[in-house]
Structure 1
Amino acid sequence: MSARFTLKQLRYFVVAGENSSVTKAAELLHVSQPSISSAIQQLEESTGLQLFVRHHAQGLSLTPQGWQFFYKAKSLLNEADGLSQFAHTLGTEISGSLSLVGFPTFTSLIMPTVLKEYVGKYPAVNVECDEKHQQEIIKGLINGKYEFAITYDMQLPESIDFIPLITLPPYAVVSTDHPLAGRSSLSIHELAGHAMVMLDWPMSREYFLSLFISQGIDPNISYNAQSLGMVRGMVANGIGYSLFNTPVHSNVALDGTKFLSIPLEEDLMPLTMGVAKLAQSNLTPAGSAFVDELEHFAKQILSPANHEKLKKVV
């Protein structure tokens, strides 16, 4: 016999699963606790699955089967919400809420432009965008906090689908008075002997270190920084060189000092920036429209004239 359940039961189940609590789910949904418990019980009886482990006085936790059912239920509810919105507007308007997250190295670079275009076309959509590192991005996608992410193609589990947008090769940044500043291109072997300022973010550090390892050399990491603004300022003031892979629109640090961007001679591993989403979830109409804007932005960045302009900021 096929399982029979309602969207209301699925919604009660998903909220309880997200919060590991019947009590919290009842508060958020403004219903009674017995209503939540009854919906979960009916789902378990209908599907023949044990969805939760009950902990005395400590709430609930999803079973392995429960997690799989949770992802499918979350996806179905998103589709149902999208269908409801479509019916409400007769397909003529994209509206609702859109929650997304981006990796910090390029979120501030691309999001203001894309948001301006998107909000101009779809003013009825409320967009919320966070900045997180890769581990938190993956966690947010899996637990349904974000519909999709703008991030790199690194350390993504099989449960995450990735849509590539831009391939970004690494390049060097140095101060205007650095000993290597007059060069039109640089070898990573030459750079290794000079002081380096490392962007000390988990995935970024691993990536840049891997470039040196691939060449059998060790960098001279003299300073670590926790923000792109700090790296740019330290480089511009001659404290050391650094490696970037995101396009630079300006060669001026926050304190007004300048730096140079110089291509690397070696064919080093690039990073690909794109859209990551939970494989079991479909994008809402608002999400699909935003990805369309991102793809349009990527084509502009990759146009020959703009690509050369961004590559040679001096």
Structure 2
Amino acid sequence: MIPSFSLRQLSYLVAIADHPLAGRPSLSIADLADYDLIAHGVPPSPENARKMIEEAGLSIRIAHMSTNIEVVRSLVARGTGYTTLVQHWPIDVSLEGLPLICKPVTPPAPEYRVVVAWSDTARLSRRAEEFIQFSERMAVWTPGRNAGIATQP
């Protein structure tokens, strides 16, 4: 059998910490219809955001787009809009130290899965072993944020 495990991640919404909707346990795209999107401009992020917004029956309102994720998070932390992301950071603050809120999308956004698999007969390089260990730690680190791990013997 091929050793493997999978990580799953859902999109989530990021907004300024003192956003009027910050107290809610989750947010829908419709909740943010009156706010501008700060888009992460690296595919497939813009397309995923557009799809989520259009599926909610809304028109996309992009205020800014950047290929630098920290610029996106900093613009959000300064109150210029919200963003949708999949990758989670260990702390919910911008590089400037400004607080952010991270909320699950209601109804749940599409799930993204990554499978890490390797041959049980192959000798793994040190980098490959470290990548597998890192991926396993990330799967365990984010369980409250809808990540999971499934290991096959």
TM-score after normalising by structure 2 = 0.76
Measure, in 1, the Cα distance between the counterparts of 2:48 and 2:5: 18
- Structure 2 partner of 1:271: 112
2:88 is the alignment partner of 1:254: no
Within the candidate set 111, 130, 133, 1:293 is matched to 133
Indicate the SS of the match to 2:44: helix
- Structure 2 partner of 1:214: 55
How many pairs align?
140
Work out which of the two has the higher radius of gyration on C-alpha atoms and give 1 or 2: 1
Within the candidate set 32, 36, 45, 1:195 is matched to 36
Indicate the SS of the match to 1:211: helix
Q: Which has the higher helix share?
A: 1
Query: Cα–Cα, structure 1 residues 283 and 200, in superposed 2: closer, same or farther, change >3 Å?
Result: farther
- Structure 1 partner of 2:17: 176
CA contact (8 A) 2:45 2:85 kept: no
Measure, in 2, the Cα distance between the counterparts of 1:215 and 1:283: 46
- Structure 2 partner of 1:34: none
Measure, in 2, the Cα distance between the counterparts of 1:283 and 1:198: 41
CA contact (8 A) 1:165 1:295 kept: no
Give the deviation of 1:294 after TM superposition.
Answer: 4.1
- Structure 1 partner of 2:72: 231
- Structure 1, residues 152-197: CA drift from partner, whole Å, max 9, x if none? xxxxxxxxxxx66211111111112222222221111111321110
The code of the aligned residue for 2:103 comes to I
Give the deviation of 1:250 after TM superposition.
Answer: 0.7
The higher relative CO (CA closer than 8 Å, separation ≥ 6) is in 2
TM-score after normalising by structure 1 = 0.40
Measure, in 2, the Cα distance between the counterparts of 1:269 and 1:168: 9
Residues 1-314 of structure 1: pairs in structure 2 closer than 5 A: 165-275=6-116, 284-286=123-125, 289-290=129-130, 292-302=132-142, 307-308=143-144
- Structure 2 partner of 1:53: none
Identity %: 24
Give the deviation of 1:253 after TM superposition.
Answer: 0.8
RMSD over aligned CA atoms reads 2.6
The code of the aligned residue for 1:213 comes to E
Measure, in 2, the Cα distance between the counterparts of 1:255 and 1:284: 43
The code of the aligned residue for 2:71 comes to M
Query: Cα–Cα, structure 1 residues 216 and 251, in superposed 2: closer, same or farther, change >3 Å?
Result: same
Give the deviation of 1:300 after TM superposition.
Answer: 1.9
- For structure 1, which runs of at least 5 residues remain unmatched after alignment? 1-162
The code of the aligned residue for 2:6 comes to L
Indicate the SS of the match to 1:168: strand
- Structure 1, residues 61-108: CA drift from partner, whole Å, max 9, x if none? xxxxxxxxxxxxxxxxxxxxxxxxxxxxxxxxxxxxxxxxxxxxxxxx
- For structure 2, which runs of at least 5 residues remain unmatched after alignment? 147-153
Measure, in 1, the Cα distance between the counterparts of 2:68 and 2:99: 17
